[in-house]
Amino acid sequence: MPLSEVRIKEITDKIGKSKIMILGDVMVDRYLYGDVGRISPEAPVPVVEVKRETVALGGAANVAANIHALGDTALVVGIVGSDSAAETLHKGFSDSGLSNECLIVDPDRQTTMKTRIIGENQQVVRVDREDLDELSSKMEEKALAMFERHAGDCAALIISDYGKGVITKPLLEKLIPAARKHGMFVAVDPKETHFMNYKNVSVITPNHHEASFAAGLRIVDDESLKRGGSDLLERLQLDSLLITRGKDGMTLFEHNGDRADFTMTHFPTFARKVFDVTGAGDTVIASFVSAVSAGASLKEATVIANSAAGVVVGELGAATVSLESLRGSLKPRN
């Protein structure tokens, strides 16, 4: 369902006027780019001669970068260590124009850093430095206190769960009801193993693999998609569910007032080329929530998120989409 030019203008003119909180696993994405000219004599692996190095915000921090790129104000509640990776993350926040006031330091925890080595425009290997232990009760209390301090000013809450230990079941059991009490739109970018913890939220945005895992069936066609989506809607008592399906676009499930009644709407992909899907899920949930916060319906927000995703998958690494680029991608194609 393409949006009319009038509706595109109405929604995009209001994007950039909301404050959105992101709570989840923040991390640093480090990229080493180089040339591959030979195989190592030590093992059957390519030798990458590094020519360039970059760092970017990853995980929940990349969601915030996407929110900021669209013009909305992003507040990030996350946990970092007391280490060099945390310093890199703080610098990334500063360079991106993001506030780091809601980042909480846990001296017993390592800041997550993913290092991707790229040879001849292809990822050769990824090296992760991280702690996967769940937050202590003390850190959970600090995260909740930070949430409560700022919740009254925010239109929405994005829970960005990368399975790095920040999004715990005890935290969600307090966080979701509190966010709903504040009247916030609550969106979750899920970790498949945590699915049953995301009850009573506004929307969950899994890819089809995550949805298949959570529903306990292989989603291979419209019929299995319908069964899996309706099962998740019912079991988790969701307001809506947005399943991203790669080359097959996206499918939105939403209730029609009655919990037993729902609609399933397909949206074909906007991507003209797919170069790298890194961070695409971050762009989807960020643009979807920004659109809803600007007054878009769930279907309109899906069109906008689908279009935004089509832009970022055409770029290498975790990219963001500006409001100007988004407007351009939403224009009807000839």
How are beta strands 122-129 and 112-119 bridged, if at all? antiparallel
Token pair belonging to 53: 């190095």
Residue 94's alpha-carbon distances to 90, 91, 97, 166, 249, in angstroms, are: 6, 5, 5, 23, 34
Tokens of 284: 């989807």
Whether residue 78 is contained in a domain is answered as: yes
**Angstrom distance (rounded) from CA 54 to CA 32:** 7
- Tracing tokens 């993350």 back to the chain, one arrives at 89
Q: Do 333 and 3 form a contact (C-beta atoms < 8 A)?
A: no
**Cβ proximity of 192 and 56 under 8 Å:** no
178 within a domain of the structure (yes/no)? yes
pLDDT band at 57 (very low <50, low <70, confident <90, very high): very high
**How are the residues of the chain apportioned to helix, strand and coil, as percentages rounded to the nearest 5?**
40, 30, 30
Q: Tell me, yes or no, whether 240 lies in a domain.
A: yes
pTM of the model: 0.93
User: Does residue 260 have a pLDDT over 70?
Assistant: no
Q: Which residue, among 321, 232, 100, has the nearest Cα to 240 in the 3D structure? A: 232
**Of 308, 313, 320, nearest to 276 (Cα)?**
313
How many domains does one find in the chain?
1
The pLDDT of residue 317 is 55
* 250 within 8 A of 298, measured Cβ to Cβ: no
C-alpha distances out from residue 289 to 116, 168, 300, Å: 29, 22, 11
Does any domain span residue 188?
yes
Q: With respect to residue 194, please indicate whether it lies within any of the assigned structural domains.
A: yes
- As a whole number, mean pLDDT of residues 251-260 equals 80
pLDDT value of position 117: 96
CB 240 within 8 A of CB 255: yes
For residues 272 and 76, the model is more confident at 76
Catalytic (active-site) positions? 282
In sequence order, what are the beta bridge partners of 203? Answer: 187, 240
C-alpha–C-alpha distance, residues 45 and 167, integer Å: 36
166 in a structural domain? yes
Q: How many CB atoms lie within 10 A of CB 204?
A: 27
Helix (H) or strand (E) holding 10: helix 5-14
Mean pLDDT, residues 268-288: 73
In a domain, 101, yes or no: yes
- Going by C-alpha positions, the residue among 325, 292, 298 that lies closest to residue 311 is 325
pLDDT beyond 70 at 149: yes
Q: Helix 60-69 to helix 280-293 angle, to the nearest 10 degrees?
A: 50
Domain holding 285, by residue range, is 5-26+59-106+131-330
- We report the CATH number of the domain holding residue 217 as 3.40.1190.20
Q: What is the bridge-based pairing of β-strands 185-189 and 203-204?
A: parallel
What does DSSP assign to residue 109? S
115 falls within a domain: no
Please, which pLDDT band fits residue 281 given cuts at 50, 70 and 90? confident
Give the DSSP H/E element, type plus range, for residue 187: strand 185-189
